[in-house]
Amino acid sequence: MERLDKVLANLGYGSRKEVKALVKNKEVEIDGKIATDSSVQIDPEKCEIKVAGNVVNYRKYIYLMMNKPDGVVSATFDKYDETVIDLIDDEYKVFNPFPVGRLDKDTVGLLLITNDGELNHRLISPKWHVDKVYYAEINKKVEERDIEAFQKGIVLDDGYKCMPAKLEILRADEHGSEVKVTIQEGKFHQVKRMFNSVGKNVVFLKRVSFGGIKLDEDLAEGEYRELSKEEIEILKSI
């Protein structure tokens, strides 16, 4: 059970004071009855709340997929740069969402955004080995021996030995390569540092899949949408 004013304030209907005024103006109904007390305890999952005649779409958690653009940081706040949260509508911001893990400022592609702390924890915990798939463009020719090195476990510049990773070559010649990389960890700049360890540089990086969820190719960079029920189920079953 939760206080009516808290529920409505959390859903973006204004401050608690403003919600109190809505109740005073008889604009709030609970299960068909005009509410008279903004501090009344309700079960928002079970009752029907209306504000100014419109049914309130109650939910505790939101789950968004964004096609993160270049130049935007994966954080809720940044002193200098635009953040992924700056890109989303107030309708979602009232839920205080945050990005699930991080993509570098210049990495594009699939970023999940939610306010579900428990799910976030599971998805980013090294214990759960969630697959992250990246499309990358590399400045040199990627070769069979690189595939083997990724499979064995790359040792990064700080001595950390990565878990086995899958490297697939989509195209490779003397001018550069396009590859697909699947990793289960999320160390700082991991994919870029893995290629650095085999003497190559990542020139473009895009995450195309996370935990079995694929980036919706209909989303232009900077766009986002809510996850479908099926997609949420996939993440929760990890």
Residue ranges in contact with ligand URA by CB under 6 A: 103-104, 107, 189-192, 205
CA 60, 65, 69, 72 torsion: positive or negative? positive
237 CB-contact burial (10 Å; exposed 0-12 / middle 13-18 / buried 19+): exposed
Write down the catalytic residue from 70, 104, 106, 216: 104
Nearer to ligand URA, 92 or 195 (CB): 195
Distance from the first to the final alpha carbon of the chain = 29
What's the min distance (Å) between Cβ of 50 and ligand URA? Answer: 44
Nearer to ligand URA, 56 or 215 (CB): 215
What's the min distance (Å) between Cβ of 233 and ligand URA? Answer: 25
Reported as type and span, the H/E element at residue 107 is none
Side by side, which strands form the sheet with 28-30? 33-34, 28-30, 49-51, 54-55
Reported as type and span, the H/E element at residue 94 is none
Nearer to ligand URA, 123 or 205 (CB): 205
CA 149, 151, 156, 161 torsion: positive or negative? negative
Please tell me what DSSP assigns to residue 206: E
Q: What are phi and psi of 175, to 5 degrees?
A: -85, -20
What's the min distance (Å) between Cβ of 62 and ligand URA? Answer: 23
Residue type, 202: V
Residue linked to tokens 């070559």:
169
What's the min distance (Å) between Cβ of 190 and ligand URA? Answer: 4
What's the min distance (Å) between Cβ of 36 and ligand URA? Answer: 52
Q: Tokens representing 27?
A: 């604009």
Nearer to ligand URA, 104 or 137 (CB): 104
Closest Cα partner for 180 from 150, 160, 157? Answer: 150
Nearer to ligand URA, 21 or 170 (CB): 170
104 is catalytic: yes
Cite the active site residues.
104
